[in-house]
Structure 1
């Protein structure tokens, strides 16, 4: 196979390169396989990326090499890639605005995959709108793990339901999991984050031996940290179905509540999923997070 060649995809010409380069050396997983996964998962991934500025984590020489976060459009960005110029208050590079990439179509997704953008992260809001998602990250402190995350997820699901908010679980693709809740999109990030913090603190008081709502790392061993701060307007969360960088490729995987409960009780193994498994799951379940695209309720005011 040549090092570089052009493909024609949905009316766009893309140059692909070095498809045999190892992105996950320990697993023998190549850049060509990264592109193949993103191409095949695109029907369920693209709706979660659409109209959201995407932050990429790029690994030009594979997951064992140097990586970097990228928000601004990279050099050589094709003219057909959708860009959104957005303010970035507090930028570490003293920039008032950034030209973000927006992934609305398959060619843009494949173009990013060819740039070794292994991880894709998006905010809880769509461009020009207030947050339409509430997201909490359940981060386990060893020896707690994904099984304990599942137990806290069920507890949080039930508490959110008391306020009429429906939660959908997914693995993070690394060690924890997240809950995603559709909102009305009529409240700003400060209101949503304030509500998430209040619920996290309430659950931490209820089960102080297993849950913390404080960010201090010394408080986390053996507990699940409910990271309510994911709802800050400047924060992003790994997008559903995105690959994650590690020794072996995994992906952020939507779960059913039956699976989450079974993980929490030990009936099934609590683990992350490979790209091949995620594709098989989509064939079986479709997009378990499809309802996130429908408006939910507003969060209760404090």
Structure 2
């Protein structure tokens, strides 16, 4: 019989709690649900009012995986949804996770949580920028850290504060809080920044996705700033061999990383990290830390002066890694 749990006044049928979803470690669905309940206070502000996409893996990480944007069949009427702009579907909607009850309902579906860089009340107007640093073997997260330090300093030269988390897979994600800006403008800035990074560190960084260009280098994926794209949310579990987390980390941890395992965090690691450090992504919440997006690097509209400063600081941090 499927147990019924009451969460914030909502009745949830939480099923198959003993099912092993991560065979390498024996991590079960019940443990997945417990993890999300434990980190909910930190996770919810980063997904609330942001339309969600789900990567589902209901039979575990060795089973079928499928990506879905539409609300799944059987979505309760009390789970909020929001319209989203999609050229192929003018009536498209996606789920909003706004509270513990909707978080636990979604977690029971066994999902990775992926969010847009904009909020439901302002579609395609971003209040965050993201850069996804993806290492091409034999490069690892260690090389991503070197690239991240350069990008942090370059962004700082434009008055932007970057925060960093593990992707939960192989690389890193850099996030920046912005004053609301059309997604196409954010995309243009992010692409120009990735191109500049490649020019500054051509042996380390590539800005194009072509696999032939990526061995041994870090691909700075700027494309996830497009209005239609989503990125793994802070604190989401990932469908990897072990229950790894997309975990916010400090810049000190990034600078000190010399072995890939230093920046791998599992579900069981997170309560202690949160107790010690709090939410390292908290400055991204709310308008206080938001900054205006400058002109794209090299555009000649205010970006060129800071570009020279950013390249100089990047050589320092790049060489130090």
Q: TM-score, normalised by structure 2?
A: 0.88
Q: Which moved more, 1:6-15 or 1:290-299?
A: 290-299
After TM superposition, list the pairs within 5 Å mapping 1:184-195 onto structure 2: 184-185=179-180, 187-195=181-189
User: Is 1:203 aligned with 2:201?
Assistant: no
Does the CA contact (< 8 Å) of 1:240 and 1:252 recur in 2?
yes
Question: 1:283 pairs with 261, 265, 275, which one?
Answer: 275
What runs of 5+ residues in structure 1 fail to find an aligned partner? none
Per-residue deviation, 1:269: 4.9
After TM superposition, list the pairs within 5 Å mapping 1:101-180 onto structure 2: 101-117=95-111, 119-129=112-122, 130-180=125-175
Q: Which moved more, 1:250-259 or 1:286-295?
A: 286-295
Per-residue deviation, 1:229: 1.0
Does the CA contact (< 8 Å) of 1:262 and 1:268 recur in 2?
no
* Structure 2 counterpart SS, 1:126: coil
Does the CA contact (< 8 Å) of 2:168 and 2:238 recur in 1?
yes
Per-residue deviation, 1:199: 1.1
Q: CA RMSD in A?
A: 1.3
Residue of structure 2 equivalent to 1:293: 285
Structure 1: distance between partners of 2:85 and 2:207: 29
Structure 2: distance between partners of 1:191 and 1:83: 26
* Structure 1 counterpart SS, 2:294: coil
Q: TM-score, normalised by structure 1?
A: 0.94
Q: For residues 146-198 of structure 1, what are the alpha-carbon distances to aligned partners after superposition, in whole Å with 9 as ceiling and x for unaligned? A: 0110111000000000000000010000000010000011x201111111111
After TM superposition, list the pairs within 5 Å mapping 1:1-40 onto structure 2: 3-40=1-38
* Structure 2 counterpart SS, 1:4: coil
Per-residue deviation, 1:77: 1.2
Structure 2: distance between partners of 1:178 and 1:239: 10
What runs of 5+ residues in structure 2 fail to find an aligned partner? 300-321
Residue of structure 1 equivalent to 2:263: 271
Residue of structure 2 equivalent to 1:58: 56
User: Is 1:238 aligned with 2:232?
Assistant: yes
